[in-house]
Amino acid sequence: MAATQEEILEGLAEIVNEIAGIPTEDVLLDKSFTDDLDVDSLSMVEVVVAAEERFDVKIPDDDVKNLKTVGDAVEYILKHQG
């Protein structure tokens, strides 16, 4: 069953917490991965890989660049989840 926006945000927050050690409550829609959450380009790849598994979605390398904020990622997953 497709995940809702809240569920995706919650899931992403857990992933970011696991990979970058950021408290889940700090992972909010308007936060930038690199500037606010200390997720660098390689951690971002790990976040994407984990998100693909969790939400049954494919996020190609070329699209990863456009996911600047948590909100971008939530929206992308919402649109593309299988």
Partner 1 sequence: MTAKIKPSKGAPYARILGVGGYRPTRVVPNEEILKHIDSSDEWIRSRSGIATRHWAGPDETVAAMSVEAGGKAIADAGLTPEQIGAVIVSTVSHLKQTPAVATEIAHLLGTGKPAAFDISAGCAGFGYGLTLAKGMITDGTAEHVLVIGVERLSDLTDLEDRATAFLFGDGAGAVVVGPSKEPAIGPTVWGSEGDKSDTITQTLPWDVYREQDAADVRYPALRQEGQAVFRWAVYEMAKVAQQALDEAGISADELDAFIPHQANMRIIDSMIKTLKLPEHVTVARDVETTGNTSAASIPLAMERLLATGQAKSGDTALVIGFGAGLVYAATVVTLP
Ligand X SMILES: CC(C)(COP(=O)(O)OP(=O)(O)OC[C@H]1O[C@@H](n2cnc3c(N)ncnc32)[C@H](O)[C@@H]1OP(=O)(O)O)[C@@H](O)C(=O)NCCC(=O)NCCS
Contact positions vs ligand X (CB under 6 A): 41-42
Binding flags for partner 1, 8-47, as an x/- string (CB under 8 A): ----------x---------------------xxx--xx-
- Residue number, 5 or 40, with CB nearest to partner 1: 40
- Residue 39: CB minimum distance to ligand X, A: 11
Angle, helix 70-80 to helix 41-55, in steps of 10 degrees = 30
The DSSP line for 10-69 is: HHHHHHHHHHH---GGG--TT-BHHHHH---HHHHHHHHHHHHHHHT----HHHHTT--B
Binding-site ranges for partner 1 (CB under 8 A): 18, 40-42, 45-46, 48-49, 61, 64
